[in-house]
Amino acid sequence: MYLKKLKIGEVKLENNILLAPMAGITNLPFRLICEKYNPGLVYTEMVSSKGLFYKDEKTNLLLNTENEKRPVAVQIFGNDIEAMAYSAKKISKIADIIDINMGCPAPKIVKNGDGSKLMLDLKLAGDIIEAVVQNSTVPVTIKMRKGWDEQHVVVVELAKIAQEKGAKAITIHGRTREQFYTGVADWEIIKKVKKEVNIPVIR
């Protein structure tokens, strides 16, 4: 009843059950194990755009999709437009979808202005989305949270910006950065976003 096909840009997914991106978990061996459950789409762990830009060997290993069932989405993070644009060009050659991480709450990520910290700078977030879309030949999607904290619930605004800049889907983690992974996710705000955009909203 809930299973249906999903289209993200021109990429057709067999179903709408997706393997969420998880740092330290959704590496290639884990994704291969998950193939028997037939996910409609799998995501890599988040990959540093700066690492790709500076040709870091360990970062490049995260892009390995050898012998993997398609489609595969590669998730990137960063706030440097040049590095994100470079990464978009590079990943376009190997992935079916590029996902931008604007939801990671980890201190080591947000202290550099990456992940969910971008929800506090919507102009920069929009510029990054635009640069990645313009430098990508595959659909670009955005992962975001409800907001930074209850004083900064900006998901509706960011979702609209994402659509306007050319993103083909968004995924919402219905918690604020302040909540990390605790408490309950806000499903009402996801409903609200769905009413405001035409692109698929994944939760």
The residues annotated with a catalytic role in the active site are 104
Does 124 participate in binding ligand FMN (rule CB under 6 A)?
A: no
Residue 149: CA count within 13 A, CB half-sphere: 2
Q: Least separation, in Å, of the C-beta of 144 and ligand FMN?
A: 9
Beta bridge partners of 75: 46, 99
Q: Least separation, in Å, of the C-beta of 84 and ligand FMN?
A: 15
Does 183 participate in binding ligand FMN (rule CB under 6 A)?
A: no
Does 101 participate in binding ligand FMN (rule CB under 6 A)?
A: yes
Does 118 participate in binding ligand FMN (rule CB under 6 A)?
A: no
Rounded CA separation 99/170 (Å): 9
Does 103 participate in binding ligand FMN (rule CB under 6 A)?
A: yes
Rounded CA separation 105/108 (Å): 9
The two structure tokens encoding residue 160: 């609209």
Q: Are strands 6-8 and 11-13 parallel, antiparallel or unpaired?
A: antiparallel
Does 165 participate in binding ligand FMN (rule CB under 6 A)?
A: no
Q: Least separation, in Å, of the C-beta of 175 and ligand FMN?
A: 7
3-state SS, residue 85: helix
Interacting residue ranges for ligand FMN, rule: CB under 6 A: 20-25, 45-46, 75, 101, 103-104, 143, 173, 181, 185
